[in-house]
A and B are shown apart, each in its own frame.
Chain A
């Protein structure tokens, strides 16, 4: 059903920080995602999770080098996508 619906943003993200999406980055993603009025999805190899759900993001199992697809929609879809993308780009302020 969802496949037929329209996403405002759909883009590729790469996990570049050394330790991958461990606790702190995942917490940052979830905290950031919760600030927006938007549906924010992260997809890895066909598995989708809501970016607001910390444990789901952790369970997605994303070490360094993982490719993800970010999808957003809703009133603040663009802002949300920008913020999440920026987190990834800054390597979650880690090395």
Chain B
């Protein structure tokens, strides 16, 4: 019997509390990825893959033989699978990736499968498109032989489990459903990792970044996952279990109360309207955003399609994604942020020297103005999508009017190209600047002449203003959203925007944290963009606050000299007004069940 009540902590990545048996994915059980170094290794890997193909073929042929006469339909499917197994796209592509990219067989096979999946997604006819299921069946069978597990349905369990793994790859998570999996614990990853995104999508609790989780936890052990606080308890005794069951119930109840109001408008109780918008990364998240009551998309991050791949996405691929998001949000604004990425994030074909200090390096608008071909492709795709709804575009990391001007000139030239080609787009597409570099705050009165709107990106602004790297554990606790310097910056940007008559939004984690909402309203921020799951609670806080008292809180906070005083003051005010909101941790997100 292992020791009871072992407490651990990770990063809360998806809200909720769950108690259940663990299922630990061992290294061999995962789609391992590694690079091959010698020709010898490559040859061995090819042989291993070909052997797995032979085994799969034997298995399929045998299954076909065994089928009784009245099951003809099934024989046809196996026949189809045999053809797919030997198909160019799967077989040759995998072999090619092993040979040319030095991928191990599992990774190569997975990449080949993904590529086929992409091709199939573009097929118009839904019957034909649905055949990807057969490709997937073959892929899994083949993968099973590769990993030596045979064709075990590795993600089907007799009872729902909590998955514990070092990290979860997209390949694995696509095989999981919320009926099988109650929660996730991973050793790697952060709040925005793939695991977190999937957990949100499946609406199950997750804790990531729990060191040595796969060593501490054994399959079958009972674990508690608190996705609100990051707490993990292994082998809890009856008393602990009971207290968590109570807490879980309280949370479910609270969640219900909060989500009931999530479709109501974000109006303060003295009648001042605000907009609560969603930050999204994938077009699929638009549905989530709507479910949580978003008034639009305030930040559509577009890096996803550029990451973890060898080839740059085509204009068509980008366009399809953007269009999907835009069409999913009819009559509401979708604000697309252009590529916010450094050269270092591209594996290839772009080769960039590693940077000593990437946050201060060649990234975002700087990178795009340098790599104009990449930038133009994206601008073109965004413009084309603008014909299908209300699109706004914004440029990240603007630090001078020159950058904004150059970006606009490029945008205009792309518009001319499209007009010449007779392609439809929104000629009035609003263009915004992200305010996330202190220089942009100082120059806001000049930038405002070139921008149709501002969006304050607090994550970067705080990091640059306070010179704090949040990833650096020794200074991470000095990252303070309510730092007097940050509050003054927000106040100034809002003031400049108001005088110029342009809209200003705030995106970044600060905007989704209920603790800061009254202060921000008081500083004059009227548009807040956040992760969809934060929306219900933020709306609730807005609806329970009056603009008058928010202004008073902000005014008081601005008189204080140190961030400690501000934090004390704001926490006190918030506890007085919202005793129930911070009971379950902070920043608080809820999943609508």
Contacts and interface: CB of A to CB of B under 8 A. Distances in A.
Contact of B83 (A20, A30, A61): A30
Interface string A9-41: 000000000011111100100110000000000
A91 to B, nearest CB: 15
Given A19-B127, A20-B127, A31-B83, A59 B88 contact: no
Interface in B113-140: 116, 119-120, 122-125, 127-128, 131, 134-135
A30 B80 CA distance: 10
Residue with the highest number of chain B CB atoms closer than 10 Å, among A19, A54, A59: A54
A63 B128 contact: yes
Residue with the highest number of chain A CB atoms closer than 10 Å, among B83, B84, B122: B83
Contacts of A48: none
B128 A55 contact: no
Interface residues of B, number: 21
Interface in B72-110: 76, 79-80, 83-84, 87-90
A55 B89 contact: yes
Residue with the highest number of chain A CB atoms closer than 10 Å, among B80, B83, B119, B128: B128
A75 B131 CA distance: 33
A31 B120 CA distance: 21
Contacts of B131: 22-23, 58
Given A59-B119, A59-B123, A53 B128 contact: no
A43 interface: no
A27 B90 CA distance: 15
B424 to A, nearest CB: 22
Contacts of A31: 83
Q: Is the interface of B mostly helix, strand, loop or mixed?
A: helix
B124 A53 contact: no
Contacts of B116: 55
Contacts of B84: 54-55
Interface in B309-365: none
A31 B142 CA distance: 21
A92 to B, nearest CB: 12
A27 B79 contact: yes
A88 to B, nearest CB: 16
Nearest to A19: B127
Contact of B88 (A22, A55, A62): A55
B125 A20 contact: yes
B337 to A, nearest CB: 32
A21 B127 CA distance: 9
Contacts of A54: 80, 83-84, 87
A53 B76 contact: no
B135 A55 contact: yes
A55 B87 contact: yes
B120 A59 contact: yes
Contacts of B134: 23
B88 A58 contact: no
A40 to B, nearest CB: 14
Interface in A56-77: 56, 58-59, 61-63
B80 A61 contact: no
B127 A61 contact: no
A24 B76 contact: yes
A56 B88 CA distance: 9
A41 to B, nearest CB: 14
Contacts of A63: 124-125, 128
Contacts of A61: 122-125, 128
A23 B89 contact: no
Nearest to A23: B131
B88 A53 contact: yes
Contact of A53 (B80, B87, B120, B135): B87
A31 B80 CA distance: 10
B247 to A, nearest CB: 50
A54 B134 CA distance: 12
Q: Which 3 A-B pairs have the closest CB atoms?
A: A61-B123, A63-B125, A55-B89
Given A22-B128, A22-B131, 19 more contacts: A19-B127, A20-B125, A21-B128, A22-B127, A27-B83, A30-B83, A53-B89, A54-B87, A55-B89, A55-B116, A55-B135, A56-B89, A58-B120, A58-B123, A58-B131, A59-B120, A59-B122, A61-B125, A62-B125
18 contacts: A22-B127, A24-B76, A24-B80, A27-B76, A50-B88, A53-B87, A53-B88, A53-B89, A54-B83, A54-B84, A55-B84, A55-B135, A56-B88, A56-B89, A59-B123, A61-B124, A63-B125, A63-B128
